[in-house]
A = this chain, B = another copy of it.
């Protein structure tokens, strides 16, 4: 992830509705959610949702596929992981204190069981 992508990602995540969308899609898993379903959960109009989805897509944080009349959106796990890596390594220069604080938080080197299917991308 280069700086340009990181800036776009931070910008995308700096708005409440969009942060909510990402959180919802991460939980939704690889199947994702239809736009209408997301709009309903977020409590925003379809056109407003479209606007925010486009921002997230532009930042590479989500991807989409059409399925009949619906368009399903999924979180881009890889992009989220890269953003976190950017924050730790590039932005924070892999600073020991910061790095430690992330790793100490449970799960390090003793990965939890991966849920049901592990086809997360």
- Tally A residues with Cβ within 8 Å of B: 49
A110 CB to nearest chain B CB (Å): 9
Do A102 and B100 touch (CB < 8 A)?
no
Of B80, B95, B97, B109, which one neighbours A109 at CB under 8 angstroms?
Answer: B109
Do B92 and A26 touch (CB < 8 A)?
yes
A42 CB to nearest chain B CB (Å): 14
Which of chain B's residues have a CB closer than 8 A to the CB of A11?
10-11, 14
Do A88 and B114 touch (CB < 8 A)?
no
Most B-side CB within 10 Å, residue of A3, A81, A93, A120? A81
Stretch of A15-23, A31-39, A63-71 contacting B (4+ beta carbons < 8 Å): A15-23
